[in-house]
Amino acid sequence: MSKILTSSRRDLSLEFPLLMGILNVTPDSFSDGGSFNSADGLISRVDEFLFHKVDIADIGGESTRPGSDGVSTEEELKRVVPAVMLSAANGLYVSVDTMKPQVAYESLMAGAAMINDVSGFRDPDMVAVCAEFGCSVCIMHMLGEPRSMQENPVYGDVVEDVKKYLLDAAERCIRAGIKESSICIDPGFGFGKTLEDNYKLLAGLENIRSAGFPVLAGMSRKSMIGNVVNKPPVKRLAGTLAAHTAAVLNGADIIRAHDIEETSDMLKVLRMLKTAGGKCLR
């Protein structure tokens, strides 16, 4: 597997897991909805990312929590593009979390370097846009779509099923002109999975990574944490850090998180462990 995630704007080294900070410019995201969709909130979040040297700023303008309704392309553009422009102007490596090809196009024009598509690049127009710009892409597994994904998720072998889905999607993207070295994959914790499915995927991350692509893990404050610790999203930090530590030890290359300072500290400690010869780190 390449130690570099390539993009026409800037390449990222994968020598050690990267921190992707979540920047939701939405009023209704499950954990931090409304926190950063004002000018002051956005500027504060960008300053936080810069202070803690976040590797990737992941900007989303449409909630994909279970049961959520979509927003129009026009509304999503109104939310996302100013955040992309501000973040890119401050030197951040910007990812945009979107399922819409037009939002991806306008975001890449505004300075984004990555598109993070939770629908797994099912839309050929989305693939074509990313191939045209030569950006990095994150292919995520989701069973169905946000409104119905949690109704009755069923798998034969969840790790193997998700791995095959991601491999097939990656191959489709490569055939359409996206560079293999520009692709990372995400098993999609919480997107059409039972509690048990989520933890099987966490335990099986090394298997998913054996597909040959860098792996992104995003479990921050999700119900797979809350249903174990029995706490609301804002009180799930300790559980989230435990899950993300396990993800790194099982081979994750990118950790997507709400809690920037704490996750950065966790990654610093694991980096020190690797420097000291820790056998549990790749």
Q: Which of 259, 258, 227, 221 is nearest to 243 (CA)?
A: 221
**Nearest Cα to Cα of residue 192 among 222, 148, 231, 235:** 148
165 touches 142 (CB < 8 A)? no
Residue 124 tokens, joined: 């050929």
Count of helices and strands (H, E) across the chain: 10, 10
Residues marked as catalytic: 222, 256
Instruction: Transcribe 112-123 into DSSP letters.
Output: --EEEETT-S-S
Helices of type H across the chain: 39-51, 73-89, 101-110, 124-133, 158-175, 195-203, 205-209, 223-229, 237-249, 260-275
Which tokens in the block code for residue 70? 């979509």
Task: Identify whether the C-beta of residue 182 lies closer than 8 Å to the C-beta of residue 135.
Answer: yes
